[in-house]
Amino acid sequence: MTNKAFQRIYTHLESITKATVSLVAKGVTNDELATVDGRLAQVVKIKGDLVTLQVFEGTEGIPTDAEVLFYGEPPVLKVSDELAGRFFNAYGEPIDGGPAIEGEKRYIGGPSVNPYKRRQPSELIPTGIAGIDLNNTLVSGQKIPFFANPDQPYNQVMAQVALRADVDKIILGGMGLSNDDYLYFRNMFEGAGALEKIISFVNTTEQPPVERLLVPDMALTAAEYFAVDKNQKVLVLLTDMTLYADALSIVSNRMDQIPSKDSMPGSLYSDLAKIYEKAVQLPDGGSITIIAVTTLNDGDITHAIPDNTGYITEGQLFLRTDTDTGKVIVDPFRSLSRLKQLVQGKKTREDHSQVMNTGVRLFADAASAKTKLENGFDLSDYDNRCLEYAKDYSNQLLAIDVNIKIDQMLDTAWALFAKYFKKEELNIKQSLVDKYWKGN
Amino acid sequence: MNTTGTVTGIISNLVTVKVEGPVAQNEICFIRIGETKLMAEVIKVNGAYAFVQVYESTRGLKPGDSVEFNGHMLEVQLGPGLLSSNYDGLQNNLATMEGVFLKKGEYTAPLDPDKEWEFSPIAKSGDKVKAASWLAEVKEGWLPHKIMVPFSFEGEYTVKEVKAAGKYKINDTIAVLVNEKGEEVPVTMVQKWPVKVAIRGYVDKPRPYKLMETGVRIIDTLNPIAEGGTGFIPGPFGCGKTVLQHALAKQGEADVIIMAACGERANEVVEIFKEFPELVDPRTGRSLMERTTIICNTSNMPVAAREASVYTAMTIGEYYRAMGLRVLLLADSTSRWAQALREMSNRMEELPGADGFPVDLPAIISNFYSRAGIVTLTNGQTGSVTFIGTVSPAGGNLKEPVTESTKKAARCFYALNQNRADRKRYPAVDPIDSYSKYIEYPEIVKYLTERIGERWVPNVMEAKNLIIRGKEAFEQINILGDDGVPMEYHLRYWKSELIDFIILQQDAFDSIDANTPLERQEFMLDKVLEICRQNREFENFEECSSFYKKVINVMRQMNYSKWKSEEFNQYLEKLNTLVNNN
């Protein structure tokens, strides 16, 4: 960031914590940026003349006589078409060796879209993964996270989804990304020859955690530029939102705020909602779709981060390893796309929603049969058929390495139904059974 | 002369103001940033300092900025034109705002001052009236919208003049009243009322005694809600809270629907914006939007206005109740409102109660729920506000402060169960944990007996009992195995499955199954119980399950078929053959 004329300079800090510094200063506005000893900081609290700043890089080595310069404005991103194909850090500075971006200055973390001006999402985003397209169909303008344990290949799945999706721009917001994963994304994007439609804002694990707080707002400001100004379809990838929330708790802790559940700040819901609610279908055709990652501690979704996320997002996608087939699958029980009914049977075949429900219900019956088996009970004929069906269903539909069209998914499901079940065991509307049944 | 002040401190949306002059708790003030004015509410006063919560982002605010207090609490405007409007939590009209983004400090008029309304007088010169008495009527869509003596008027007034029938605008004087001192007071079609104060102006508030039909079987049949009653729907995310609430909004037997989208997803509100104008109210044949007001303060809109939104909604509900109308108020979700209270309490550094919520949370919640109810108006007519709120318990755990506080206040409890949702048994209302206190009210039992028949309440109790016994049997089967239990257990389990699949489960996305009128609910419950009561012998449990699966399949087709259509009758015949031949 460049210096401006008429800057106010202060040289005495009243107090320093691990993430914040306080000083006496006049005429400072809420949310404005400053540098403290050359490091970027933002005003988070004003009490009379005492101003508290959150220092993004951390306060290690900052002396009490550090030079503080106020910018007089909140963080900005310069937006223009030049953003496309570039890699930036959390401050929006290029990290790919290219030139700085010329363009219009926009304050990041700007206002919300008037809900009345939104349009209902109605465009299907096909991914080829049946666990998503068949059971949890994605829609443009949706916001949905992957809930995954740290050992699961969520970044790979997300990159696959992004590259298969039919969108104009893909914006990656990487928070606490390991350097390996950063390079993975970079190689994937370059290898797919899709670099010109991709923009990345990356904070890696090598960089200070508090910096991450800027990444989603940077990514979404860029997204709003393309979606609102250019009427483009934009897909935003945010990984990993758990690390983002951790950074929030660090800052609130340093500011002596009373923590709520799981030592998270009481405002966690609103903080996350401000990000996720940027997903939107706009009246003039542009849209922002957000796919995020929330890593879990051993599958615990009652923790404050996934819990609050679940209440904000339009569903969630669960990855788990299916022990029967050894494949990573999209868990049909715990995954949900709340917007799926906007496209199922409307943009896809009429039997979609009933086939989906029946497929999952039979898979649930198989899970009950398995419990019975584990408890040492005899299985009925129906139980055995369910178990066999579950294996095929898992292999041919739920596994994340499946890549087929939605009609093929439906046909596969009908074929499995006919292979293992009778018509009356399906509980599907008769007219659909008559039309699509693949058996005798 | 209004009190003024200057900003001295800022933490997020909590601003400290040094005040010059008197200031009231909950008074509204405006903070000036350049040309923009930000609305805020006083939430604490300490010496010369007032703590105000700002209803907007405080970005760019600085110490020394000027503040002007306006002398009253947060108010809403009440008058014709509220229906089919879309407001934010502070009653700004979202439809008339410019641009795609919400602009800071942009406030729009809630009611259209230029629209002309077809007016006809009710009161006549010489009538004695008091607050909430009906003076006149305008047609708001198909609803008779009463123009009342403003609720804030104290004592008795004599009508001097009411305008003749004709077309008037909301700010025209439509009547002149004379108070006890002989002073003339002009009245227009619009009045203001502070949202945090309940609107009185009724004679009494009896216990609810009528059923409010919703078309949702698990509610109407098993846990009915009364007109003027209260209920709440707690549930973890993904269990179908919002789908259930939308079903209630579409099908609820009410004249006016007010939906407060409080701190929830914007796309859910968009769904209402899109669908409601297209949907037709089966009772009136008019578009659903005509009877609906939406108060929308989604999760990304300013936190402080979230709290205001539920009060704004309730006040509008009470206003229509005073016209003798039946109002259904839905709030999704009251947890977000509680969280907004927590955020502010936290910033004010108050000592926290359980989970960091303010200690007076239970009192705030029960006070709010108590504003619902059926009332007898001064002219002997009745009006009602039925309130159903959702609760989003943290971690899906019902032992958290918001759920527990609400449970003490609301009379119906519709617990959404994760397990049922995982098994796609929607609506995922837990049939065993959920309850309606109203079914125990003698008034309601009497009403149900008169409305549906002698058998109804005993039938409902029998069905509930079968569900509980079925669950017990299911647990035993799971412990002892299919062969380890007597046939009787399988029979019991399958009877409860039959009730589950045919009565409890309902497809909210199927145009026919979504809405089941009471008459049809009665028929299906009778039919299901008839099958349950028959003594059936089976050789083995597989025979038993296969019989009931067939019954379930046929009856499900009945649920999907138009009531008493040829298709329906065919399935009914099929069912009778199936049941009688086995």
The DSSP bridge partners found for residue A139 are A124
pLDDT per position as a tens digit, B477-493 = 988 888 889 999 999 99
Question: Judged by CB atoms within 8 Å, which residues 49-68 of A form the interface with B?
Answer: 49
The pLDDT assigned to A284 comes to 92
Say what the pLDDT of residue B153 is.
Answer: 94
At B285, which CATH number?
A: 3.40.50.300
Distance CA B330, CA B233 (A): 11
User: Which of B12, B62, B102 is closest, CB to CB, to A111?
Assistant: B102
Q: Which residues, at least 6 apart from B369, have a Cβ–Cβ distance to it below 8 Å?
A: B230, B387, B389, B406, B409, B410
Q: What percent of chain B has pLDDT over 90?
A: 78
Cα(A366)–Cα(A413) distance, rounded to whole angstroms?
A: 15
Residue that terminates a domain, selected from B137, B170, B194: B194
Q: Is A167 helix (H, G, I), strand (E, B) or coil?
A: coil
B425 and B466 belong to one structural domain: no
CB atoms A30 and B237 under 8 Å = no
- The per-residue pLDDT for range B110-150, each reduced to its tens digit, is 999 999 999 999 999 999 999 999 999 999 988 999 999 99
Which of B145, B172, B194 is the last residue in one of the domains? B194
* SS (HEC) of B245-301: HHHHHHHCCCCEEEEEEECCCHHHHHHHHHHHHHCECCCCCCEHHHHEEEEEECCCC
- State pTM to two decimals: 0.91
CA B261/CA B267 separation, integer angstroms: 11
Of B496, B414, B525, B572, nearest to B517 by C-alpha is B525
What is the nearest CA distance from B296 to chain A, expressed in angstroms? 8
Indicate if A219 and A179 belong to the same structural domain: yes
**Which of A116, A120, A341 faces B86 most closely, judged by CB atoms?**
A116
The C-alpha atoms of residue B150 and residue B171 are separated, in whole angstroms, by 14
Residue B471 lies in a domain: yes
Domain end position, chosen among A23, A43, A70: A70
Domain-located, residue B138: yes
Listed by number, the residues of chain A in 296-335 with a beta carbon closer than 8 Å to a beta carbon of chain B are 301-304, 307-308, 310-312, 314-316, 333-334
Pairing of strands B86-87, B292-297: parallel
Residue of B nearest to A373 (CA): B481
Selection from A165, A170, A161 nearest residue A227 by Cα: A170
Positive or negative torsion for Cα B516, B522, B527, B529: positive
DSSP readout, A53-69?
EEETT--TT--TT--EE
Q: Is A371 on the interface with B (CB under 8 A)?
A: yes
The answer to whether residues B186 and B206 belong to one domain is: no
**End-to-end alpha carbon distance in chain B:** 86
Q: How many C-beta neighbours within 10 Å does residue B136 have?
A: 22
d(CA B379, CA B342): 42
| Residue at which a domain ends, from A70, A102, A119 | A70
- Evaluate if residue B529 carries a pLDDT over 80: yes
Same domain, B362 and B469: no
| A35 pLDDT above the threshold of 70 | yes
**Domain identity same for B48 and B144:** no
Among the partner-chain residues B333, B347, B509, the one whose CB lies closest to the CB of A353 is B509
Q: Is pLDDT at A253 greater than 90 in this prediction?
A: no
Chain B residues in contact with A382 (beta carbon < 8 A) = 542, 545
Residue A172 falls within a domain, yes or no? yes
Q: Are residues A241 and A172 in the same domain?
A: yes
Q: What are phi and psi of A359, to 5 degrees?
A: -55, -45
Q: What share of chain B is helix, strand, coil (3-state, %, to 5)?
A: 35, 25, 40
Q: Are B435 and B223 in contact (CB under 8 A)?
A: yes
* A277:B300 CB<8 A: yes
**What integer is the mean pLDDT of B315-323?**
97
> pLDDT by residue (tens digit) across B160-186?
999 999 999 999 999 999 999 999 999
Q: What is the mean pLDDT of residues B248-269?
A: 92
- A258 forms beta bridges with none
Separation between Cα atoms, residue A330 and residue B212, nearest integer Å = 41
> Cis omega (within 30 of 0) on the bond before B114?
no
Tell whether B276 and B351 lie within a shared domain.
Answer: yes
| Amino acid making up residue A362 | L
Averaged confidence pLDDT in chain A: 91
Asked whether residue B245 is domain-assigned, the answer is yes
Q: Which domain holds residue B50?
A: 4-73
Is B542 close to A382, i.e. CB distance below 8 A? yes
Domain membership flag for residue B84 = no
Same domain, B383 and B408: yes
CA–CA distance, A172 with A163 (Å, rounded to integer): 12
> Where would I find the H helices in B322-439?
334-347, 361-369, 401-409, 418-422
Chain B hits for A314, CB-CB cut-off 8 Å, are: 265, 267
What CATH number is given to the structural domain containing B140? 2.40.50.100
First to last CA, chain A: 71
Q: What is the pLDDT of residue B565?
A: 96
- In terms of domains, do B474 and B355 share one? no
Show the domain range for A366.
Answer: 352-436
Decide if A32 and B303 are in contact by the 8 Å CB cutoff. no
User: Has residue A199 been placed in a domain?
Assistant: yes
Q: Does the structure show a pLDDT above 90 at A200?
A: yes
Predicted local confidence at residue B347, as pLDDT? 83
Which chain B residues have a beta carbon less than 8 Å from that of A350? Answer: none
Residue B578: which H helix or E strand, with range?
A: helix B566-581
Same domain, A35 and A127: no
Q: B182 Cβ partners below 8 Å, 6+ apart?
A: none
Q: Cβ–Cβ of B422/A381 closer than 8 Å? A: no
The residue behind tokens 């129906």 is A382
Q: Which of B300, B342, B507 to mutate to test the interface with A (most CBs of A within 10 A)?
A: B300
**How many structural domains are present in chain A?**
3
- Strands, sheet with B175-178, edge to edge from the N-terminal-most edge strand: B128-129, B157-162, B175-178, B184-187
- CA dist B486 and A302 (Å) reads 39
Burial annotation A345-369 (CB, 10 A radius, 16+ → b, else e): beebbbbbbbbbbbbbbbbbbbbeb
Long-range contacts of A1-7 (CB under 8 A, 24+ apart): A1/A33, A1/A35, A1/A40, A1/A71, A1/A91, A3/A69, A4/A71, A4/A72, A7/A69, A7/A70, A7/A71, A7/A72
Q: Where are the alpha helices (DSSP H) in A255-405?
A: 268-276, 304-312, 352-374, 381-393
